[in-house]
């Protein structure tokens, strides 16, 4: 039997990883397990959920995994997914044929898994224990990581204690984080989540969109003399981030003088050589590494704003939770390995059952930004149609990730999920322990989440067809005993690894994003044409019309 109940205790230990230099990939779409799963899906061989629960008394226990992380618990209940024992066993075999465990070990040890850019993907090294070892080109990168972590901790401590002050001597009360994508979504999620359980000693505002309304609105509410600006850009060439940084620096200069700008600005980047030209002192640059993708960078110095807001200890706990999930992913066997199980259920839903979207519905206002965070993590990683070997992928890959916070979602889009013509898998996320004194209302919140998962799974019969619900709609529910830095870190790392598992099965390089790069290149060209007032003659007719219309209505024609 492939199912078995499991309670997994995850501890923060020391891990030494040996360097691996290569990674082999396997096309599994013609293997026995893939063809069998395809046949099962086509025949509708999996019984409805109501029948599965009736025929498998231990189903809930068998398809649930409980993890203990830093004294807190995380329960992952996948029993309401359209998966039976046979499908689960075939998925386990598929993971073996795809060499997912080997790929995992290679990634964790520093192998070149980002093959198109010839880079490792070592976001896990950012939370490795001090004194452990991960070699890249003969260099132990963990030592470098901890050097930066110590620098972040010292900066955060100095700001929080009032030793790092503004140019006029005012204490820093506000931080403006300027970044986009992973340099914004991750830190913003952490700030939103932790702000509900602890008061930030320093307030943080986030600026991401190149629309100047965003940065103008944020800065208008702040005092330049007590504001620290953090510019996060891995390449330090991201157009949106640099445009917003220029506006913020001019705002500082207008109020405090040009010489004060460097005193009120720090940078987080791989390329420190580009920072000097922007008026930021080299001594205030916090390093990133080329082997960490932006959407995986929340465990890097990109999170410095939250170290300042909540203290370095909170971020250490956050990284400890991520490390706990890393160790769980690295060591637990398939049937007790949460990223493996959720990742392969996701492959089943997408590639075999043809479910084109996945709704993330946290029943926690603190986690309201989680759907947007996961959108980038999953869709930018696995939203691809070409394999690592350059071949067209013949199966469906990443679904569209969307969602919203409960209970609001029940009054917005849950109607479609209950009775629409498309089956949409849902992941519910809840928190057992309330963050306020309003326990009765919190109980109602969690009750709504549990009720939604039950209604989706089992539906109801009714003589009026419009009021009947067929049920058999799949969902997974994740419950945190409490929302702490550790459980938040573990939750984020869980989905990092889910994405990796799915990318391995699909044969995708989950660590590049060439579609994004093309958009950046074209935007640069079109912007130059708009500034010159002359649309490029080689553009398509629609784009030329749009440029001319824009120029006409901005009086530039």
| Distance (Å) of CA 95 to CA 73, 86, 371 | 27, 14, 26
Could you say which of 240, 332, 380, 496 is catalytic?
Answer: 380
**Sheet (strand 72-77) strand order:** 6-10, 64-69, 72-77, 475-480, 426-431, 357-363, 400-403
| Distance (Å) of CA 373 to CA 86, 203, 212, 376, 380 | 33, 21, 22, 6, 11
Q: Find, among 337, 244, 316, the residue nearest to 4 by Cα.
A: 337
Is residue 123 part of the annotated active site? The answer reads no
Interstrand relation of 64-69 and 72-77 (parallel, antiparallel or unpaired): antiparallel
Q: Find, among 297, 337, 315, the residue nearest to 10 by Cα.
A: 337
How many other C-beta atoms are found inside a 10 Å radius of the C-beta of residue 472? 19
Helix (H) / strand (E) element for 158: namely helix 141-160
Contact call for residues 230 and 260 (beta carbons, < 8 A) = no
Contact call for residues 468 and 459 (beta carbons, < 8 A) = yes
Could you say which of 217, 439, 520, 524 is catalytic?
Answer: 520
Torsion of CA 442, 447, 450, 452, to 10 degrees: -110
DSSP secondary structure string for all residues of 253-314: HHHH-GGGTGGGEEEEES-GGGTGGGT--GGGEEE--TTS-GGGGGGTGGGHHHHHHH-HHH
| C-alpha–C-alpha distance, residues 178 and 242, integer Å | 9
Q: Find, among 74, 102, 124, the residue nearest to 511 by Cα.
A: 124
Torsion of CA 403, 405, 409, 412, to 10 degrees: -80
Could you say which of 217, 259, 394, 411 is catalytic?
Answer: 411
Is residue 411 part of the annotated active site? The answer reads yes
Torsion of CA 3, 474, 478, 199, to 10 degrees: 170
| C-alpha–C-alpha distance, residues 35 and 92, integer Å | 14
Is residue 548 part of the annotated active site? The answer reads no
How many other C-beta atoms are found inside a 10 Å radius of the C-beta of residue 211? 12
Positions marked active-site: 380, 411, 520
């Amino acid at each position: 039997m492939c199912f078995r109940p499991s309670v997994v205790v995850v501890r923060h230990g020391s891990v030494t990883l040996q360097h691996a230099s290569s990674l082999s990939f396997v096309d599994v779409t013609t293997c026995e397990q893939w063809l069998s799963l395809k046949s099962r899906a086509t025949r509708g061989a999996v019984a409805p959920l109501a029948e599965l629960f009736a025929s498998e008394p231990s189903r809930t226990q068998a398809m649930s995994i409980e993890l203990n992380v830093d004294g807190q618990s995380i329960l992952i209940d996948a029993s309401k997914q359209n998966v039976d024992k046979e499908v689960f066993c075939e998925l386990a075999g598929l993971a073996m044929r795809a060499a997912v465990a080997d790929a995992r070990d290679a990634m964790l040890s520093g192998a070149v898994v980002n093959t198109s850019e010839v880079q490792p993907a070592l976001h896990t090294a950012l939370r490795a224990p001090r004194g452990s070892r991960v070699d890249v080109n003969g260099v132990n990168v963990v030592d470098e990581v901890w050097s930066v972590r110590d620098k972040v901790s010292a900066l955060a401590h100095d700001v929080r204690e009032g030793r790092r002050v503004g140019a006029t001597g005012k204490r820093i009360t506000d931080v403006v984080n300027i970044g986009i994508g992973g340099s914004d979504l991750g830190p913003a999620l952490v700030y939103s989540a932790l702000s509900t359980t602890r008061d930030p000693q320093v307030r943080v505002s986030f600026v991401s969109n190149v629309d100047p309304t965003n940065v103008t609105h944020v800065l208008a509410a702040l005092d330049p003399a007590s504001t620290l600006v953090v510019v996060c850009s891995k390449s330090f060439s991201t157009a949106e981030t640099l445009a917003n940084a220029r506006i913020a620096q001019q705002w500082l200069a207008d109020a405090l003088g040009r010489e004060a700008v460097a005193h009120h600005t720090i940078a987080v980047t791989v390329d420190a050589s580009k920072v000097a030209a922007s008026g930021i002192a080299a001594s205030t640059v916090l390093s990133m590494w080329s082997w960490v993708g932006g959407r995986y960078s929340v465990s890097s110095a990109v999170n410095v704003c939250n170290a300042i807001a909540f203290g370095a200890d909170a971020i250490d706990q956050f990284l400890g939770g991520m490390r706990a999930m890393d160790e769980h992913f690295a060591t637990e066997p398939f049937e007790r390995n949460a990223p493996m199980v959720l990742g392969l259920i996701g492959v089943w839903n997408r590639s075999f059952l043809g479910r084109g979207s996945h709704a993330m519905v946290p029943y926690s206002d603190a986690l309201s930004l989680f759907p947007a965070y996961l959108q980038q993590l999953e869709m930018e990683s696995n939203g691809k149609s070409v394999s690592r070997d350059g071949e067209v992928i013949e199966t469906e890959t990443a679904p569209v990730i969307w969602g919203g916070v409960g209970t609001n979602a029940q009054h917005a889009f849950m109607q479609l999920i209950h009775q629409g013509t498309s089956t949409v898998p849902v992941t519910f996320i809840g928190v057992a322990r309330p963050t306020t004194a309003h326990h009765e209302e919190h109980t109602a919140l969690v009750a709504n989440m549990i009720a939604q998962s039950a209604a989706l799974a089992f539906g109801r019969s009714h003589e009026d067809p419009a009021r009947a619900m067929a049920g058999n709609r799949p969902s997974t529910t994740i419950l945190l005993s409490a929302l702490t830095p550790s459980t938040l870190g573990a939750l984020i790392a869980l989905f990092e690894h889910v994405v990796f598992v799915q990318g391995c099965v699909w044969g995708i390089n989950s660590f590049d994003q060439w579609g994004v790069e093309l958009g950046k290149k074209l935007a640069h060209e079109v912007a130059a044409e708009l500034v010159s007032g002359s649309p490029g003659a080689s553009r398509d007719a629609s784009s030329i019309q749009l440029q001319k219309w824009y120029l006409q209505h901005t009086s530039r024609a």
